[in-house]
């Protein structure tokens, strides 16, 4: 996707199909031990992510902790008690942050600014409260995102759905929605099992027409006015993020991330991708081969050394530690999969290897001294302080490796731009390409609505800007890891995005929802992107 900051609101206009559209595919069965599957290896990553994740709204503040509570999607944390002096971060819907002091200051644009942890000032006004029992805040809190999970909301694709700020009457629904009578008749037949597969309208394929069955409507009267984003319709291919569903006025309604209402019968839920990368340690090291696009054939070596295909396959997106050297047999080359008798055709694998040096020229632990360095790689100054984190991303290889100084710590598949690498002299936005070069993490946002005139991606989780409009972020709408899917951004799987968000520097302050990587935040993770 492509992003911009405008008037303090983080929006991401993306070119057609920012990350590609299409349903996720079910994960294939795990390969046999001792080769671990992606799901098995990411159990470790989940543990790290859970340990480092922010507690979100499920963490109840102690009564003795003075806090300020957010009743909007963007409550700015200013550098100084001055609303026109720039912001360093913000609070999200239903979040809160501890106060450094209960003594407020009058400043430009607000009569009561409060200092918050670890830095900055928040204005006490109609968007905030010091009272955890504030009626508006308590009503909002029920629907705020669960930011300590890979999927902070539930997600689906719009089939062309209206957005309502209140529960509409049947008359209002018919006024707003084209051919609603025919649509609702088809929904009733589908729900009752009376609609043959070949007669299901295209607009209802994949739609969950079940009723909520229980759960009261939200307390809409307590929602602050103007809290919803300023759009009354989501075009087809747009995405919907929601936290709750309920029945009213003859239909089931979804409560969206910005507390609007959309009819459930006009949203197709996305399957949840379970893919995740692997933590690297003494037992699991690079190089690692990934199978992408499709399942790949296993080979065994015969008594005379020839390679013979077997009837067994590695599932798509398998993670396979391999020996560092290739073997050539009868004009073809193969990798040996460690701790097994299996081999794989090199053409069936994309391989992540250790970079010989860091972006600042220090030798990487365990790297081969004869390994060539990318001739186009830029040398940058080593970060001052912090863990000196950096990531290497291969656009054409579709992989990413994370490092702490000279040590590789994590490897995974990513989904780069559909256009591959940029054409010289052409804006990468025009070709849906991922820019190559050495960058840094410029900002971190737990969720961001990403939009362009064609469609909207709602509340995209774990977004991190690295190159102007380009972002590293979770993509809940596809399962094409290792494939070129985006309009130029670097897509991460849900599990990987959660882990990565809490691993990169600067660390987002506890209980903040978004931040800029400014001088007060500390060193920033270096992002090295190449072919």
pLDDT at site 19: 36
| Separation of alpha carbons 139 and 141, rounded Å | 6
Between 364 and 45, where is the model more confident?
A: 364
Mean pLDDT of the chain, nearest integer: 88
Question: Strand 233-234 and strand 161-162: pairing?
Answer: antiparallel
- The token pair that represents 18 in the structure block: 């920012």
What's the rounded mean pLDDT across residues 32-53? 36
Sign of CA dihedral 70, 76, 80, 82: negative
**Mean pLDDT calculated for residue range 318-339:** 96
pLDDT of residue 141 exceeding 90: yes
Give the pLDDT mean for 6-16.
Answer: 32
User: What does the pLDDT read at residue 372?
Assistant: 65
For the chain, the farthest-separated pair of C-alpha atoms sits apart, in whole angstroms, at: 84
Query: Between helices 38-52 and 494-503, what is the axis angle to 10°?
Result: 40
Rg (CA), the chain: 25
H or E stretch covering 161 = strand 161-162
Whether the predicted pLDDT of 215 surpasses 90: no
Neighbours of 210 (CB within 10 A): 11
pLDDT of residue 454: 84
pLDDT at 63: 54
Output the pLDDT for position 88. 98
- Cβ atoms within 10 Å, residue 203: 17
pLDDT > 70: percent of the chain = 87
Average pLDDT over residues 112-138: 97
Q: Residue 192: CB partners within 8 Å, gap ≥ 6?
A: none
Residue 427: pLDDT over 70:
yes
**pLDDT, mean of residues 104-121:** 96
Residue 26: its pLDDT value, please? 24
Structure confidence by residue, pLDDT tens digits, 356-389: 999 999 999 999 877 666 666 778 999 989 999 9
Give the pLDDT score at 249.
92
Q: What is the pLDDT of residue 455?
A: 86
What's residue 41's pLDDT?
37
- The residue written with tokens 């922010």 in the block is 54
Residues with Cβ within 8 Å of 224's Cβ and at least 6 positions away in sequence, in order, are: 71, 72, 126, 127, 136, 140
pLDDT value for 245:
96
CA distance 187 to 265: 7
Mean pLDDT of 164-168: 95
pLDDT over threshold 50, residue 32:
no
Rounded mean pLDDT, 70-96? 96
Mean pLDDT of 471-484: 98
| Residue 115, number of CB atoms within 10 A of its CB | 17
CA of residue 255 relative to chain centroid, distance? 20
| Mean pLDDT calculated for residue range 478-489 | 96
Tally of CA atoms within 13 A in the half-sphere of 251 that contains its CB: 22
The Cα–Cα gap between 331 and 307 comes to 11
CA distance 527 to 529: 6
Task: Please state the rounded mean pLDDT for residues 41-55.
Answer: 38
pLDDT at residue 452, as a whole number: 80
Instruction: State mean pLDDT over 211-234.
Output: 89
CA atoms within 13 A on the CB side of 51: 7
The pLDDT tens digits for 387-422 are 999 999 999 999 999 999 999 999 999 999 999 999
pLDDT at residue 92 above 50? yes
- Do residues 444 and 508 lie in contact, with contact meaning Cβ atoms separated by under 8 Å? yes
Backbone region of residue 283 per phi and psi (left: phi > 0; alpha: psi in -120 to 50; beta: other values): alpha
CA distance 223 to 259: 8
Within a 10 A sphere around the Cβ of 63, how many other Cβ atoms?
A: 7
How far apart CA 329 and CA 455 sit, in angstroms, is: 50
Closest C-alpha among 110, 109, 115, 106 to residue 66: 115
CA distance 462 to 465: 10
Q: Tell me the C-alpha distance between 169 and 503, whole Å.
A: 47
Res. 444: pLDDT tops 60: yes
């Amino acid at each position: 996707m492509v992003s911009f900051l405008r008037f303090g609101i983080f929006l991401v206009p993306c070119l057609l199909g920012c990350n590609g559209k299409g349903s996720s595919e079910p994960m294939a069965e795990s390969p046999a031990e001792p080769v671990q599957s992606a799901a098995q290896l990411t159990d470790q990553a989940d543990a790290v992510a859970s340990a480092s994740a922010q507690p979100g709204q499920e963490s109840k503040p102690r009564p003795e902790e003075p806090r300020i509570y957010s009743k909007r999607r963007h409550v700015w944390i200013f550098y100084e008690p001055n609303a026109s002096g720039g912001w360093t971060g913000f609070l999200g819907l239903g979040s809160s942050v501890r106060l450094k002091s209960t003594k407020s200051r009058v400043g430009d644009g607000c009569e009561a600014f409060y200092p918050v942890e670890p830095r900055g000032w928040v204005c006490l006004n109609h968007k905030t409260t010091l009272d955890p029992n504030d009626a508006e805040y308590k009503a909002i809190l029920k629907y705020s995102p669960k930011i300590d999970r890979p999927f902070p909301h539930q997600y689906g694709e719009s089939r062309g759905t209206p957005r309502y700020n209140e529960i509409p009457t049947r008359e209002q629904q018919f006024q707003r929605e084209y051919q609603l009578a025919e649509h609702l008749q088809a929904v009733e037949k589908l729900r009752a099992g009376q609609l043959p597969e070949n007669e299901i309208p295209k607009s209802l394929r994949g739609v969950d027409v079940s009723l909520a069955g229980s759960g009261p409507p939200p307390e809409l009267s307590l929602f602050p006015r103007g809290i919803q984003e300023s759009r009354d319709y989501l075009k087809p291919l747009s995405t919907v993020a929601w936290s709750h569903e309920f029945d009213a006025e003859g239909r089931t309604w979804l409560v969206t991330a910005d507390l609007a209402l959309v009819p459930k019968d006009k949203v197709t839920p996305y399957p949840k991708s379970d893919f995740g990368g692997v933590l690297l340690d003494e037992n699991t090291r690079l190089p690692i081969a990934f199978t992408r696009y499709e399942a790949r054939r296993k080979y065994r070596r015969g008594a005379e050394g020839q390679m013979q295909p077997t009837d067994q396959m590695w599932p798509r997106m398998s993670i396979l530690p391999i020996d560092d050297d290739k073997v050539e047999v009868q004009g073809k080359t193969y990798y040996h999969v460690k701790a097994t008798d299996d081999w794989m055709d090199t053409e069936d694998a994309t391989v992540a290897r250790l970079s010989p040096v860091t972006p600042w020229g220090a030798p990487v632990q365990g790297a081969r001294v004869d390994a060539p360095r990318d001739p186009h790689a830029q040398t940058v100054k080593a970060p001052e302080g912090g863990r000196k984190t950096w990531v290497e991303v291969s656009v054409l290889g579709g992989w990413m490796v994370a490092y702490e100084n000279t040590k590789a710590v994590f490897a995974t598949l990513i989904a780069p731009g559909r256009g591959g690498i940029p054409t010289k002299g052409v804006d990468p936005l025009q070709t849906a390409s991922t820019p190559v070069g050495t960058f840094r993490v410029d900002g971190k946002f737990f969720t961001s609505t990403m939009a362009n005139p064609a469609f909207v991606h709602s509340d995209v989780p774990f977004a991190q800007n690295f190159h102007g409009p380009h972002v590293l972020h979770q993509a809940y709408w596809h399962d094409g890891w290792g494939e070129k899917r985006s309009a130029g951004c670097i897509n991460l799987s849900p599990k990987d995005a959660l882990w990565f968000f809490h691993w990169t520097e600067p660390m987002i302050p506890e209980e903040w929802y978004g931040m800029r990587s400014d001088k007060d935040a500390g060193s920033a993770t270096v992002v090295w992107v190449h072919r």
